[in-house]
Amino acid sequence: MSKFSIIKPGLAWLVVLSFGRMQAAADPGAQDAFFGITDEDDAYTYPWTQHTDRHYTHGLKFSYMDSFAPATGGPEWLGKILGWDNWSAEASSWGGVLGQNMYTPQDLLTPVPIPTDRPYAGWLYAGPVYQREGMLSSNLFVEDSFEADLGVVGPDSFAGNVQEAFHQTFFPDDVPQGWHNQIHNEPGVVLKYERSWRYSPTEWLARYVDVIPHTGFDLGNVFTWGTAGLTGRFGWNLPPDFGEATIDSSGSVNSGLTGDSIASAYVFTGVDERAVAQNITLDGSWFQSDPSVSQNTWVTDVSYGFAVRVNPHVPCLCAPRWLPQLEFAFTHIDRSREFRGQQGDDIFGSATVKLSWCVW
């Protein structure tokens, strides 16, 4: 029995809804413009286990978010749906992402399609990101994240070229043999939305502990799913942001580099549940005959990790302007089985580095 079987479908949705009436954790703060790199791989797992390339085997994403500015009102009908009229001290930011994901079966040395395992697939994309933050009450803060990704699935994603070149250079005895069977080229579009809340009982406790429920969706011909989950953080000088984000989360860029502390460090753990309607990397192309497997509707991620941030731009330090604010975060993800017949759950790691050059 999978360790995820005790987590019943829909649990995360109930957790999120239970926070809807909570009142009470630190001011949203001022976000500095930042550049981030996220690298995810199934090799970033337990050092004492054997590493294999399987399923979601690698993801790379570059992101940029501008500094906060006063939030624009937006369309009136959208504001009513999202409850913007209830916010105060709002701020907003624009940015963009560029990324590539690759997916493989577990057996890389078989040159023919493996009908019982995940097909080869790649996803190359880019798109704008818009975020806005504000308060629902004195210690309950909220963030909306919008993203629109355009790209391509298939050989034109260059996922196969990248993995083959990497293995030929570093693992010549383990070069993938099946990328010619990958899912065919298909233009892709994914609209992503996520709302997150940040809560801590008091302003003093907000520096050390908080909880961050979130809910959202991906909608498009590449991925269509709804998500919900909860993250808990514990540490020192918690930044007034909304935690770390993985590449395929509905809010795939977190709220940036914020806060006025010289340094901060924290650990976190979370659970996310996903209700999947469409995943082209499992289902195959909409318009051509591709290898495919039967997806599972409910997929659960259990995660834990840490983040460390240093900020030399606190005015009292008078640091040189070329010295960046820096954050490093690592997340370990245990993912339940994504398709029927999958042998075991998947594990992978997500490492993010963010840099910001602040001028006060």
Q: Do residues 102 and 162 lie in contact, with contact meaning Cβ atoms separated by under 8 Å?
A: yes
Which residues constitute the domain of residue 188? Answer: 11-356
Vertex 126 angle, CA 124 and 128, to 5°: 160
* 2 inside domain: no
How far is Cα 175 from Cα 168, in angstroms, rounded to an integer?
Answer: 6
Burial of 184 (C-beta count, 10 Å sphere; 0-12/13-18/19+): middle
Domain count, the chain: 1
- Give the model's pLDDT for residue 67: 82
How far is Cα 177 from Cα 45, in angstroms, rounded to an integer?
Answer: 24
How far is Cα 227 from Cα 215, in angstroms, rounded to an integer?
Answer: 6
* 4 inside domain: no
* 5 inside domain: no
- Give the model's pLDDT for residue 27: 47
* 6 inside domain: no
Closest CA to 267 of 303, 320, 221, 223: 303
* 224 inside domain: yes
Q: Which long-range contacts (CB under 8 A, 24 or more apart) does 171-178 make?
A: 174/108, 174/109, 175/108, 176/53, 176/104, 176/108, 176/109, 176/120, 177/108, 177/109, 177/110, 177/111, 178/104, 178/105, 178/108, 178/110, 178/111, 178/112, 178/113, 178/114, 178/120
The string of pLDDT tens digits covering residues 71-88 is 665 555 666 666 666 565
Look up residue 63 and give its two tokens. 């992101």
State the DSSP H helix or E strand holding residue 59, giving kind and residue range, or none if neither: strand 55-65
* 154 inside domain: yes
- The partner residues of 229 in beta bridges, in order of sequence, read 214, 272
- Give the model's pLDDT for residue 24: 34
- Give the residues of the chain that fall short of pLDDT 50: 1-28, 359-360
The string of pLDDT tens digits covering residues 192-247 is 999 999 999 988 899 999 999 999 999 999 999 999 999 999 999 998 889 999 99
List the CATH number of the domain containing 299.
2.40.128.140
- Give the model's pLDDT for residue 55: 93
Q: CA of 171: how far to CAs of 52, 168, 174, in Å?
A: 12, 6, 5
* 1 inside domain: no
Q: Do residues 130 and 192 lie in contact, with contact meaning Cβ atoms separated by under 8 Å?
A: no
The SS3 of residue 14 is helix
**CA torsion, points 67, 72, 78, 80, in degrees to nearest 10?**
110
- Give the model's pLDDT for residue 171: 83
pTM, two decimal places = 0.86
Q: Do residues 32 and 356 lie in contact, with contact meaning Cβ atoms separated by under 8 Å?
A: yes
* 312 inside domain: yes
